[in-house]
Amino acid sequence: MRGSRCWRAVAAVVCGVGLLPWVSVSAVAAPDDGVVWLCRPEMIDDPCDASTATTVRRAGQPDIREEPAAPADPGVDCFYIYPTVSLQQTPNADTTVTPELRIVAQQQAARFSQVCRIYAPVYRQRTLGALAEERDYTPEQRAELSRIAYEDVRRAWQQFVAEHDSARPVVLIGHSQGARMLRQLIREEIDPRQATRDQILSAILLGGNTVVAKNSDVGGDFQHLPLCRSEQQTQCVLAWQTFDETPPPDSRFGRAPATPEAAPRPYGPDFEVACTNPTSLDRNESRGAATILRASPVPSPLGIEIALRAGPSAALAPTPWLIPAETYLVRCVRENDATVLMAAPGPGSPDLPAVPDASWGLHLADVEIALGDLVRIVAAQSSAYRAAHP
């Protein structure tokens, strides 16, 4: 993807990004005062602690306002790592809490406040500019960008664990670059350790190409944590990559790496990318996803995509959240050597555009297309955990 191409991101339009020079590690050094938090319980102006007021919209019917109750303390903690959103003009971001970080936390993480307390560290992620110009970096440079980002995520996790009440189960939530960071964190810090695994309620790893052994729910990235096949199952992984048509041969998502250069581990024909159907974990039946969109202060990516097809009013609401009239049936499929969550429009709902191109599919909508399902599943897992740990 060259700098002359314009492509939409979560909170902004990034157009004509020029070639970014290589920036040394010293230019994005780790903060001297430790972890910087974007979201944390009892933090002032926490973007993950927001109103649950929701507009429910159905075609041909008046809008309905709902405000689901959020418990004072749900007894569960969520550790959230956001996707690639930084607009900073360096290959790695610094740890400034910028507007785009707050926006994506509101869009992806805040709804989970119904079922958990949310912790989200700021990390020196690879920026949107570096992503747009990734072909201009060597494999070694790209690996260094990821190392810098992961160093912050690992530091934040270690602080979180040191301060955390081990009696409270933890949900790991990540999308895109955030999911890749959590894949490495789980592989190195969680999966090998029984005591740490016992504290994991589930891991939600979306748009991050989580790898499992072919035709298996385990193996690949993780040797112990399997894919979730029941809403009452705990210590398991939810993962998918969303498309609305067969992924092209050059798709960025849904394909296990074929060579060690693409990913040091795991790779090759014995592996495939994981997919769990959030509407039907056990049977993988095609069912309508519980889509929830962030409507304000900035419409979420899926809302923008629906608005492009159905008109601007489709993404507008007087409340922070919108359950749209548009519906999508989802099911895990294997097509063209890729494993993806295929989304088909329901009656009267528009096809969604691939952004920024067909190789990405509906990547920007991975979270919100089934956000209601994710919240429901975490609630069911929490109930199962409490029943097993009275």
- Long-range pairs of 293-297 with CB within 8 A, sequence gap ≥ 24: 293/321, 293/322, 293/323, 293/324, 293/368, 294/106, 294/107, 294/110, 294/320, 294/321, 294/322, 294/368, 295/55, 295/319, 295/320, 295/321, 295/322, 296/320, 297/103, 297/106
Q: How many helices (H) and strands (E) does the chain have?
A: 7, 18
Instruction: Quote the CA–CA distance of 83 and 365 in Å, as a whole number.
Output: 12
Q: Which residues pair with 126 in a beta bridge?
A: 92
Sign of the Cα pseudo-torsion (103, 163, 190, 154, in order): positive
Q: Residues 227-251, buried b or exposed e (16+ Cβ, 10 A)?
A: bbeebebbbbbbbbbbbbbebeeeb
103 Cβ contact partners less than 8 Å away, ≥ 6 residues apart: 10, 11, 47, 85, 297, 298
Task: Please report, for the chain, the start and end positions of each structural domain, with discontinuous segments joined by +.
Answer: 7-388
Instruction: Quote the CA–CA distance of 210 and 240 in Å, as a whole number.
Output: 8
pLDDT digit string, tens, across residues 120-152: 999 999 999 999 998 899 989 999 999 999 999
* pLDDT at site 11: 34
* pLDDT at site 34: 85
Whole-structure pTM value: 0.92
Instruction: Quote the CA–CA distance of 273 and 255 in Å, as a whole number.
Output: 6
* pLDDT at site 18: 29
Instruction: Quote the CA–CA distance of 363 and 41 in Å, as a whole number.
Output: 29
CB atoms within 10 A of CB 304: 20
* pLDDT at site 95: 97
* pLDDT at site 12: 39
C-alpha dist (Å) from residue 72 to 41, 79, 116, 175: 11, 18, 10, 26
Per-residue pLDDT of the chain (390 residues), as tens digits, is: 333 333 333 333 332 222 233 333 333 455 556 899 999 998 999 999 989 999 999 999 999 999 988 788 999 999 999 999 999 999 999 999 999 999 999 999 999 999 999 999 999 999 999 999 988 999 899 999 999 999 999 999 999 999 999 999 999 999 999 999 999 999 999 999 999 999 999 999 999 999 999 999 999 999 999 999 999 999 999 999 999 999 999 999 999 988 776 556 788 889 999 999 999 999 999 999 999 999 999 899 999 999 999 999 999 999 999 999 999 999 999 999 999 999 999 999 999 999 999 999 999 999 999 999 999 999 999 999 999 998
Sign of the Cα pseudo-torsion (366, 369, 373, 378, in order): positive
* pLDDT at site 267: 82
Instruction: Quote the CA–CA distance of 49 and 70 in Å, as a whole number.
Output: 10
The answer to whether 179 touches 187, Cβ cutoff 8 Å, is no
With residue 380 as reference, give the H or E element that holds it: helix 371-388
* pLDDT at site 261: 63
* pLDDT at site 258: 81
Q: Which two tokens stand for residue 6?
A: 């314009």
Q: Which residues pair with 206 in a beta bridge?
A: 175, 240
* pLDDT at site 264: 62
Would you call the peptide bond into 266 cis, given omega within 30 degrees of 0 as the criterion? yes
The answer to whether 66 touches 135, Cβ cutoff 8 Å, is no
Q: Which two tokens stand for residue 387?
A: 């029943």
* pLDDT at site 1: 33
